[in-house]
Amino acid sequence: MDRSWGRGSSWLLACAALVLSAACSAEAPYEPEPTAGVPPPAETLADEAPSPARTTIPQAVEETDHHDEEHIGGEAHMHGAAELAVTLDTNFVTITVDAPLANYGLSEKTKKKSTELEKYAEGLTELMGNARCDLVERSADVRRSGDHAALTLSIVWDCRRPSQLDGLMFTGFEKYPVFEEVDAIYLGEAGETASATLTPDNPFLPFGS
């Protein structure tokens, strides 16, 4: 056998072994495997998270400033309005009118005494019919509540023939234009009643049916 071939083949085998060893020892590049259950970085979450829905807070509803009627002695106090009552007791007819002082063109802060206000009963009402009535008494009373004041006028008549009374005319609409509406009622001696809402166009309260 040729010794030179043997030496040459041995050299080739040694080189092949070195190449194979280098190839096996070479490290592959590291690629981390995805880990299940680990959340992505915070930056990613911030970018992907949807913007929270805007909450619209409704503005408070503005309260309507209602002007309630003032009350004096438990009764409504409204300029232009009034209450009237007529009672018959034997021969005596008593008429009571309750209204704000402003209805008579007076300041509700007036310092006038009750005796000075009695004159406002003059020409306020008129009894209708041939009852032959004479004036017996007039009186006035002022009631106050805060900045408001009401005047109650009382008029008493002595009628010789009360059965001839037909009704009452509220003439205050002509004398005091501020009056607009009067709630009126009549109470007869035998228990009969009548009522009406008096206005400038309808100022008459009939007695009985």
- The answer on pLDDT for 52 being more than 70 is no
The ranges assigned to domains in the chain are 79-206
Q: Higher model confidence: residue 34 or residue 2?
A: 34
Q: Higher model confidence: residue 86 or residue 23?
A: 86
Q: Which residues pair with 39 in a beta bridge?
A: none
Q: Which two tokens stand for residue 120?
A: 């406002």
CA distance 133 to 158: 5
pLDDT at 116: 92
Cα 205 to the center of its chain, rounded Å: 36
Contact 53, 68 (CB under 8 A): no
pLDDT band at 147 (very low <50, low <70, confident <90, very high): confident
Coil, helix or strand for 95?
A: strand
Q: Which two tokens stand for residue 207?
A: 């007695």
Q: What is the chain's mean pLDDT, rounded?
A: 76
